[in-house]
Structure 1
C-alpha cells in the first residue's frame, strides 16, 4: 500500500492493517542527483513485501530533480526536516534506517549529523572506546539507529583520478571538469569535486569526517549498528569503485564472477574493523593536495566499521547503465533485483 504525503513524498507499507500496526522500523530511501521518489519504488515495494510487519518505507521527496543541485548541505537540512515529519507521523516507530543512492548517500550522512541525539551518560561513564557498533546509545531523533546503507555513493568525492569513470582517467580532462563542474551541477558539483570554500572553510566532505558544532557527523554514523557500502566494480560511468567502496587503490580486491544463483551480481563481500583514531587533522597542506585529501577521507571514514558489497553487471546487456541498475531505478528492468534482495536478507530489523 502506498500513502502519498502532503508534500508529494511516498510512504510504502503493508496493505494488512494488522501487519502495519506492528511495524516500528522506519526506512528512509534517498535518491541521487536529478532523481525522484520513483527511483526507489522497486526496492520500497520489495522491502515491504518481504518485511511487512517490520518496516515502513518512506521515499524522500524533499530534494527532487533540480533541487539536487543546491548542495549537499542544503539538501541535508531539507532531508533532516523531512525525517522529523515522518517520525512525527509514526509515533509507533522505534527504529530507523537509511538507504541512499549516489549523492543521496552524502545527503543522508549530512542529515543524520543534524538528527543525532547523544546518549544520556551516567556520572563517570566513558563511551570514548566505542568504534561504531551502535552501542554508544546515541539515537537518530530519538530512534534506534539500525542500518546505514549507501549504493554507488561518492564518499571520497569525485575529484580524484578515475573517480568519475566517464572522464576516462585522463588527468587533464579531470582538471578541466573540476574547474567547470559548478556550471552544470552548481553547488552540489563543488561539493563533489571538493572545491567548495565557504568562508574559508575546508571542503564540506572533509568537515563531515568529524562532529562540527551542532552537526554530529561522525557520532551519528557511529551510532548505527551497521554501515554498508554497495559499489559497482565497473561500468558505473558516474561513480568510481574506489570512492563508492571507501577504499584506496591498493585495497581494491580481485573479484571473480559470482556463482551464487540468488545473488548473481554480488562478486565480493568484506567486513572491516573500525579504527578508533584521533580526530582527522584538517590543514592547508591537506586541502591543497588532492591525493592527501582523499587519503584523509578514506582514513576518517574507516574509523568506523563498514561492510562492503561489490557488484558487477559486466555480463548484463544493461551494464553501461550500472549506476542506475544497481538500485533498479527503472522498474521495467529488474536486473539488479538480487542486490535489493541482498540488502533485505542482511537487514537488521
Structure 2
C-alpha cells in the first residue's frame, strides 16, 4: 500500500453478488489512478445469500468493513483524508445506509466525502408502477422471495418503530442518511434505459417519467465523446419524423396494440407459475430460514459486529407518518400504468415532464430560457408513472439533495443490468467500457 494515497474508494456489490462482480470497476479505477493516489476497498461481507438479510443489516456490515479498513490503514501509517463510495444495484442502497451510519458517528468530520455514485440502483424500490392484475402478482410474489431485502425493496416493510418502509426513511430529509449523503461533493447515478430486467429506468434514474419506454419512436441524443451509450441527460430524446405505417397497423386500435404488448407477460404467467413457482418459493423459504438465523447472530453480536454502536437515533421528524394512503391498495385493482386525470398533483414538483426539441434551451440550464423556448419550440411530453406516494416523496427529497443523472443506452446485449458495469469479461458487455470511462472522467481524486 502506497504511503502517499489519502483517498479510500469503497465498492459495494448488489443482490446475490460477490466482490468479483466489481472486478472491472476496480481494475478500471486502478488503471486510471495509481496506488499513489487512491486505496480501493471492495466489500465482501454481504456476498451471496447474505444480501437477503436486509438493507439495514447490509449497511451495518459495510460500515463496519469501512471502519476496519480505515483502522488498518491508520496502523500502517496511511492517513485517509478523503472517501468515495460506489454502489451497484442493491449495493447502492446498502451504501446509502452505511453512509448515514458513518456520518452519525462523526467520520465525515475528519474524512471528506468526495464521490458517491450508483450503477443501476433501485433508489425508489422495485415495485412496478402498474395497476393491473399481473403487475400485482409480480409485486406480491417478488416481495416474498427475497426475505427481508425483498420486503424492503417492494416497500411492504415497516422499518423498526417508524411505521414506514425503510426506503422512505432512507430518503427522509431529516434522516442521518440524507444528511450524510449531502456531505458528498459529487453525487451521480447511471441508469439503464432498456433491457434491464432487474432494475427499471425510473427507479435507477430517480424519475417519475420514462422517456425510453417507446424508444423506437424517438431519436436518442448522446453526450459528445460517449456516443451510442451515455445519453445527454438534459436533452435525452427527440421526436422522429413521422413514418407511413402499413395499412394493417393503421387499422389496429390502441387497445388491440396494448393487448399484443401484454402477450409475453400473459405467456410468462401461464408457463412460469405452474412450473417455476414451486421451485422459487421452496428456495425462498430455505433462504428466509437461513437469513433469520444470520440475523439472530447479527443482533446478538455473535457475527463479529457490535451492532449497538450503529443503532443510533434515526433523527426523523415524521417518524410515524401514515402508510394507509390512497396507494395502499393500488396494485389490487385494474388500471392504467400512469397517473390519471386529477392525480398529477401527487407527482414530485422537482421534475419536468416535457423536453424541448431545441438543445439551446437545455444547454442554457435556465428556467427563464426554457420558458421562452417553450413558447416557440415543440415539446415532447411524457406521462407520469403511477408510483406510490412514498416513491414521489423519495424523488422529491433525493432531487433536493442533487444527483447528476446519466441514462445509459446499451443496445448490443439483452442483459444490460450486468453490462453497465461489465460484470463479466465478455465481448458482448464491451459497451460497459464507455460507461466506466465517463464515470472515471468525472471522478475527483
Local SS of the residue matching 1:155: coil
Measured in 1, the distance between the counterparts of 2:210 and 2:317 equals: 24
Partner of 1:332: 426
Measured in 2, the distance between the counterparts of 1:263 and 1:46 equals: 20
Measured in 2, the distance between the counterparts of 1:266 and 1:21 equals: 36
Partner of 2:440: 344
- Does 2:97 correspond to 1:110? yes
Distance 1:295 1:251, change over 3 A: farther
Partner of 2:182: 222
**Over residues 271-305 of structure 1, what are the superposed CA-to-partner deviations in whole Å (9 max), with x where a residue is unaligned?**
9xxxxxx9779333547365212111111211211
- Does 2:205 correspond to 1:245? yes
Tell me if structure 1 keeps the 8 A contact 2:16–2:51.
yes
Tell me if structure 1 keeps the 8 A contact 2:84–2:116.
yes
- Does 2:46 correspond to 1:63? yes
Local SS of the residue matching 1:341: helix
Measured in 2, the distance between the counterparts of 1:279 and 1:227 equals: 25
Local SS of the residue matching 1:150: strand
1:68 deviation in Å?
A: 0.6
Uncovered stretches (5+) of structure 2, i.e. residues with no partner: 236-315, 331-386
Local SS of the residue matching 2:146: helix
Tell me if structure 2 keeps the 8 A contact 1:115–1:141.
no
Local SS of the residue matching 1:48: helix
- Does 2:139 correspond to 1:178? yes
Q: What TM-score comes out, normalization by structure 2 length?
A: 0.61
1:264 deviation in Å?
A: 3.9
**Over residues 106-152 of structure 1, what are the superposed CA-to-partner deviations in whole Å (9 max), with x where a residue is unaligned?**
0000000100058xxxxxxxxxxxxxxxxxxx753731000110000
The structure with the larger Rg is: 2
1:197 deviation in Å?
A: 2.1
Tell me if structure 2 keeps the 8 A contact 1:112–1:140.
no
- Does 2:194 correspond to 1:234? yes
1:82 deviation in Å?
A: 0.6
Local SS of the residue matching 1:303: helix
Distance 1:90 1:211, change over 3 A: farther
Tell me if structure 2 keeps the 8 A contact 1:152–1:230.
yes
Give me the CA root mean square deviation.
Answer: 2.7
Local SS of the residue matching 2:87: strand
1:178 deviation in Å?
A: 2.0
Partner of 1:4: none
Higher helix content, 1 or 2: 2
1:210 deviation in Å?
A: 2.6
Higher strand content, 1 or 2: 1
- Does 2:123 correspond to 1:155? yes
Match of 1:190 among 130, 151, 154: 151
Partner of 1:267: 231
Tell me if structure 1 keeps the 8 A contact 2:100–2:177.
yes
Distance 1:172 1:223, change over 3 A: same
Aligned length: 294
Measured in 1, the distance between the counterparts of 2:25 and 2:124 equals: 25
Relative contact order (C-alpha < 8 Å, sep 6+): which is higher? 2
Measured in 1, the distance between the counterparts of 2:103 and 2:398 equals: 17
Measured in 1, the distance between the counterparts of 2:444 and 2:29 equals: 12
Tell me if structure 1 keeps the 8 A contact 2:193–2:212.
no
Uncovered stretches (5+) of structure 1, i.e. residues with no partner: 1-16, 119-137, 162-168, 272-277
After alignment, is 182-191 or 56-65 more displaced? 182-191
1:28 deviation in Å?
A: 0.5
